[in-house]
């Protein structure tokens, strides 16, 4: 009879890192089982959690380097202008110029100057300010009323 694997309460609702899983005693082998899905390198999610933009954003924030900010249409969504397709999976972030980041799935990183007044906290996540978001978002003009 197959062994039943239970998802710990602390990991049930949102994405988590391999390090977080190990802290509570889960092995990498367990994470490759049917109870979990791998979203990108080192980031996992319980298999029964629906994939939606909020989940992809939470996963991306686990990989974002210090000094970066959610930007583009993803930041616009956090400001209340949701132009993202329902199946959006790649989160756009902006890194300060010259800031390194390992490539991987789930994040589209661009580099630009980030000033202190150009980055704010959006529900606890570093994101571009309203003005910066409006100028950086290629589809932001569609959100404006005529």
User: Residue ranges of the domains in the chain?
Assistant: 9-46, 53-143
Taking Cα atoms as reference points, which of 64, 61, 73, 66 lies closest to residue 133?
73
Which of left, alpha, beta for 80 (phi over 0: left; psi -120 to 50: alpha)? left
Looking at residue 5, what is its pLDDT? Answer: 54
Looking at residue 103, what is its pLDDT? Answer: 67
Q: Would the pTM count as exceeding 0.85?
A: no
pLDDT at 12 over 50: yes
């Amino acid at each position: 009879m197959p062994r039943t694997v239970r998802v710990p309460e602390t990991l049930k609702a949102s994405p988590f890192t391999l390090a977080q899983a190990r802290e509570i005693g889960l092995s990498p082998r367990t994470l490759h089982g049917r109870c979990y899905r791998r979203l990108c390198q080192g980031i996992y999610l319980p298999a029964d959690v629906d994939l939606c933009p909020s989940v992809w954003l939470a996963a991306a924030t686990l990989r974002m380097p210090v000094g970066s900010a959610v930007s583009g249409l993803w930041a616009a969504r956090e400001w209340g202008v949701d132009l993202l397709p329902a199946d959006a999976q790649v989160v756009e972030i902006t890194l300060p110029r010259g800031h390194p980041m390992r490539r991987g799935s789930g994040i589209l990183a661009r580099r630009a100057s980030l000033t202190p007044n150009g980055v704010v906290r959006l529900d606890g996540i570093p994101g571009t300010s309203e003005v910066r978001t409006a100028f950086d978002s290629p589809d932001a003009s569609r959100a404006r009323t005529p």
